[in-house]
């Protein structure tokens, strides 16, 4: 995988005298709390504008510090800026920190102090995360833009179909890319003035989707050729493969391929207490967009057009019970196995064999 070019960062000296800092990020202003590392007393509390020049001006005149930020819209660029200034930065997944996320007393100033105190005691309590590189973030923005455009187009298509039904006519089923032409042929002249601007917008969005699709293909071919390893699997297209690679970014961050399933929230949650261990739904942690794409791939694999494979056989075995719940579990199970398989293909470069685990007798049958 290509590595993003990064500027060399100053070394951070680890010792017991480094001040501990908690930063509660806001959209316009952020609160900062600095603790004495030895006593835990509050040394300074202040509020900054959440702008690059203000953040860099304040932290550039400070000695090297250990800083905890809560993950959010601004945490990506702020963490990079602080690391470039020589600070040791921890980005906290505060949604999983009950003390911060579910506390009875919650305000920005108090949250900044809690971040600092948790970092002082043990950074693992903050459930730290690692932001992707700036290059991966830029490329992932192409996929997110495409998803937003497709979502907007779907909303407008549904609007036109709904208005058409209210006037007693229907627009025939067709591919979305040719919907605008079909709609103009069907919409009566007396209704066309009301819907024509929406149809024009749908046509323009379709053009934008095609442009973004071209960009995705260029990224797969020129920047991320390893996507070809993932698209070997029937049902996995370039968009899913590129989203998978940009979301995980570094395959070696996982000790085992099986760890990818829990990372993407495709495993059942647990709430075990005493002798009870109720069945729960999947955790739905991790990247929602990638999890949704893997679920859609699993549905294609289990569909009528899906080729015979170990993945499909595994899902059909679970769905053989015949209930709707079993079918949902089958889709989730196939998505989880697919996530593991894609990581294995990525890290080993193997040629995909759809029936690798099937016995010769079963294949001939």
User: Residue 57 gets which letter from DSSP?
Assistant: H
Q: What sign does the dihedral 324-325-326-331 (CA atoms) show?
A: positive
Residue 309 has pLDDT above 60, yes or no: yes
Give the pLDDT confidence of 251-261 residue by residue, as tens digits.
999 999 999 99
Cβ(58)–Cβ(82) under 8 Å? Answer: no
* pLDDT at residue 12 greater than cutoff 70: no
Q: Could you tell me the residue ranges of all domains in the chain? A: 20-129, 134-223, 228-269+282-364
- The CATH fold assigned to 20-129 is Nucleotidyltransferase; domain 5 (3.30.420)
pLDDT of 17 higher than 60: yes
Rounded to the nearest 10 degrees, the angle between the axes of helix 134-166 and helix 179-186 is 20
Mean pLDDT (the chain) is 89
Q: Give the count of beta carbons closer than 10 Å to the beta carbon of residue 263.
A: 18
pLDDT tens digits, one per residue of 181-196: 999 999 999 999 999 9
User: In this predicted model, what pLDDT tens digit does every residue of 200-250 receive, in sequence order?
Assistant: 999 999 999 999 999 999 999 999 999 999 999 999 999 999 999 999 999
pLDDT of residue 97: 83
| Rounded-to-integer distance, Cα 342 and Cα 6, Å | 28
């Amino acid at each position: 995988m290509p590595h993003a070019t990064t500027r060399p960062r100053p070394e951070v000296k680890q010792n017991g005298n480094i001040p501990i800092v908690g930063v509660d990020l806001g959209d316009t202003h952020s609160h900062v709390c600095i603790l004495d590392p030895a006593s835990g007393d509050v040394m300074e509390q202040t509020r900054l504008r959440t702008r690059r020049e203000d953040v860099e001006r304040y932290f550039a005149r400070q000695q090297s510090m250990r800083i905890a930020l809560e993950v959010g819209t601004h945490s990506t660029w702020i963490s990079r800026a602080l690391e470039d200034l020589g600070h040791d930065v921890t980005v906290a997944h505060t949604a999983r920190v009950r003390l911060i996320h579910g506390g009875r007393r919650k305000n920005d100033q108090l949250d900044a102090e809690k971040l600092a105190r948790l970092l002082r005691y043990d950074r693992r309590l903050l459930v730290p995360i690692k932001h992707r590189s700036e290059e991966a973030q830029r490329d992932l923005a192409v996929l997110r833009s495409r998803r937003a455009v497709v979502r907007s187009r779907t909303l407008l298509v549904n609007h036109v179909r709904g208005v058409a039904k209210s006037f007693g006519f229907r627009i025939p089923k067709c591919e979305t890319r040719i919907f605008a032409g079909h709609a103009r042929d069907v919409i009566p002249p007396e209704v066309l003035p009301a819907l024509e601007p929406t149809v024009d917008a749908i046509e323009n969005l379709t053009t934008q989707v095609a442009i973004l699709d071209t960009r995705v293909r260029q990224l797969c071919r020129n920047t991320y050729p390893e996507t070809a390893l993932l698209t070997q699997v029937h049902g996995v297209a370039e968009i899913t493969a590129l989203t998978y690679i940009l979301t995980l970014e570094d395959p070696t961050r996982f000790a085992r391929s099986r760890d990818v399933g829990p990372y993407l929230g495709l495993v059942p949650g647990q709430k075990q207490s005493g002798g009870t261990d109720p069945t729960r739904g999947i955790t739905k942690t991790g990247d929602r967009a990638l999890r949704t794409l893997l679920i859609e791939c699993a549905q294609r694999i289990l569909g009528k057009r899906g080729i015979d494979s170990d993945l499909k056989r595994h899902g059909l075995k679970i769905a053989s019970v015949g209930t709707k719940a079993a079918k949902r579990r089958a889709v989730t199970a196939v998505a989880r196995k697919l996530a593991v398989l894609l990581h294995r293909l990525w890290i080993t470069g193997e040629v995909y064999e759809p029936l690798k685990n099937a016995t010769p007798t079963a294949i001939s049958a």
